Structure 1
């Protein structure tokens, strides 16, 4: 009796070749070497880094060589270059001849002020002038009369002198023939001397009276001229009661209501000249020392840039800002005439860019918060997967870029986001 076994179910396996086993071992060894290299490089960076940071949390920029423009961007408020505000010249009742928004021409009547006090003062001054003129005429007539009287006295004295001279000659002849006495002869001589003295004094009195008359007339003439000036000044004030437009333009806001009482020097209205506009700008105090009158500027309006010039800078600082004014350029660098943009409105807000400095072919880097983190003295330069902290020197700064003077080279990758979280670490491992 034969017992059946399981030998018929067995399968004979072939022995694997040694060559195939060798390739498997080589592949495993290569994979292990690669893993060791990768992990060793990462382990080495990790061991040498002071801290680590994810690349997703940083902003990186490249150092480039380009033309650098140092500028300042501010908001400008459009104002009319000529916008006079008119004030009441005297106290009275105002009557407007125009309304707000009306177009007016230079010299056109805008308002009138009824001032009885000033009108009455003009009449009084004119009356005083007329009185002074009459007084001057009276003194001239009186002077002529006095001069005539003095001339008459001088003429009579001259006649008396001639008669005394004639009597003197008769007495001389009579005394020579002993026809008269010694006393009569001496009396004739005394009469001649007396007549001569009277004539001399009469002529001197006439001369002094003429000088006195001329002085009085000059004094009165000066009073007349002074009063005429007062009348002229008062008349000018009365003429100013008719308020006229100093420029062509439109009427701004009326500061008072129709037929209201106004006081002297009270604002009543303004006239806006729309032919030329300027921009009032508020400049941060930190840029005040870098600005100068005549700097070029650019004004943005509807996507276009318009050339302008910085024309004024306030010497005072208010609320940490300096007031300035920008005027649209009338011609470009080639001397071609430029027109100011159309459609400008009073108090319109426009972005204004003031160009403070222009340099060519310098190392530049986009601005970032790293300037505040280390006060612009250090930067983190990326090499492989490491960010190394190294000192740098910052030059001029613009709104979007900074000038690099030292510490960086063209093509360097620099972290420009805030580095406060790194706490001054010298090397940082960047996790991808």
Structure 2
């Protein structure tokens, strides 16, 4: 018999067709997810032009209070008085001290042997002696001249008296008829001549006295000038012995024993250990507000504060900083040493009851004319006006109110967008 395919057939169980709802569930879910993504992207686009991670920025709140403008930093202790002593002349130096020696005021520290200067002193002293002698001689000549002129005046007066006596005798004889009139007239001429001689002698006495006085005064002035020269050279010779200007300690010695030093060359320095100052470096932005006399507070290693005041401010800016000095107002910490570190704080001023916010890079971005203010999860670019600033706070003059939250750091990531979303 012929075989058919019935032995190869298998019964197949048929299932019912899936409901319509389950057939469209998966495509509908995918479409809903796509719509959600599109909605989220649209919301981000509407909320801001870009989205930034909030961990990359720092936000501070606008508060109201007292803004204390001060400058704080580490200061270096320096001696307020530490002059370097220089050689008054070239020569060979003999040192009497070494670095670190404690010295008293007026104590000899070193001596310079300068034969040239000492020889100059001897020459000037000899010249002074000669001029003193010339001045004395001029005074003596003036005295002799005045004496001679007075002698001539006295002789003229005697001659006048004799002529007047002769005239009187001739007049008496003429009245008695014993003397002719011509003799009387001649006697009168002699009297007039004697009077003229007295007047001339009197004028000569005045003129001769003035001339002799001028000569003597000129000689005396020359002698006084030479005396001043000698005093100056003597002062330089005295300065060949270098003495301590105050009680202190020898600092750096810049020459060797019995070595030659040039004119105005440094020899050694002396440090006054009784008066110290603190040197601080102030940022250039605060330099215009810093002035001499401002109050300061210095803190030693033990934490004890000491009052002070700004004593000097450098007129130049170096590497973006200005050097200032602070001196102790009352007492200074015991046991201070040069180059020791102290904490310094300079009080510039205090502004009562002002709006302020934490200072950050946003102050320098855009010249402090705008800031990003938080509005929910978005940061809006808002125009503002800033005032005085301290190291940690900045005064708000306009554009913000108390309680506003401002992006104080990290706003450079916003690329000056008008609104940014913070995730």
Calculate the TM-score normalised by the size of structure 2: 0.77
Alignment of 1:31-430 (within 5 A): 43=40, 46=44, 48-50=46-48, 51-181=50-180, 183-302=182-301, 304=303, 305-330=305-330, 339-371=331-363, 376=368, 377-381=370-374, 383=376, 386-391=377-382, 393=384, 394-405=386-397, 414-423=406-415, 424=417, 426-430=419-423
Moved more, 53-62 or 284-293: 53-62
Unaligned runs of 5+ in 1: 1-35, 331-338
Instruction: Write the distance in 2 (CA, Å) between the matches of 1:408 and 1:184.
Output: 128
Instruction: Write the distance in 2 (CA, Å) between the matches of 1:159 and 1:47.
Output: 134
1:179 partner SS: coil
1:275 partner SS: coil
CA shift digits 1:206-262 (9 cap, x unpaired): 333233333333333333332322222222222222222112211111222222333
Change (3 A) 1:363 1:392: farther
Length, aligned pairs only: 384
Instruction: Write the distance in 2 (CA, Å) between the matches of 1:388 and 1:269.
Output: 64
Residue pair 2:54, 2:422 contacting (<8 A) in 1 also: no
CA shift digits 1:54-84 (9 cap, x unpaired): 4444444455555432233344332211222
Residue pair 2:95, 2:110 contacting (<8 A) in 1 also: yes
Residue pair 1:392, 1:405 contacting (<8 A) in 2 also: no
Moved more, 255-264 or 242-251: 255-264
CA shift digits 1:179-216 (9 cap, x unpaired): 34555444434333333333333333233323333333
Change (3 A) 1:194 1:407: closer
Q: CA deviation at 1:303?
A: 6.2
Instruction: Write the distance in 1 (CA, Å) between the matches of 2:404 and 2:275.
Output: 49
Q: CA deviation at 1:407?
A: 5.3
Residue pair 1:154, 1:203 contacting (<8 A) in 2 also: yes
2:257 partner SS: coil
Calculate the TM-score normalised by the size of structure 1: 0.75
Unaligned runs of 5+ in 2: 1-32
Change (3 A) 1:159 1:242: same
Q: CA deviation at 1:360?
A: 4.4
Q: CA deviation at 1:318?
A: 4.3
Residue pair 2:248, 2:272 contacting (<8 A) in 1 also: yes
Q: CA deviation at 1:408?
A: 5.2
Q: CA deviation at 1:382?
A: 6.5
Change (3 A) 1:370 1:226: closer
Q: CA deviation at 1:340?
A: 1.6
Q: CA deviation at 1:103?
A: 1.2
Residue pair 1:382, 1:415 contacting (<8 A) in 2 also: no
Instruction: Write the distance in 2 (CA, Å) between the matches of 1:149 and 1:375.
Output: 94
- 2:21 is matched with none
Q: CA deviation at 1:404?
A: 4.3
Instruction: Write the distance in 1 (CA, Å) between the matches of 2:157 and 2:364.
Output: 110
Change (3 A) 1:324 1:164: same
Residue pair 2:359, 2:394 contacting (<8 A) in 1 also: yes
Alignment of 1:19-34 (within 5 A): none
2:338 partner SS: coil
Residue pair 1:49, 1:429 contacting (<8 A) in 2 also: no
Instruction: Write the distance in 2 (CA, Å) between the matches of 1:382 and 1:82.
Output: 59
Change (3 A) 1:165 1:425: closer
Residue pair 1:314, 1:323 contacting (<8 A) in 2 also: yes
RMSD: 3.4
Residue pair 2:91, 2:114 contacting (<8 A) in 1 also: yes
CA shift digits 1:330-385 (9 cap, x unpaired): 2xxxxxxxx222343323444433332323454544344454566552225263xx
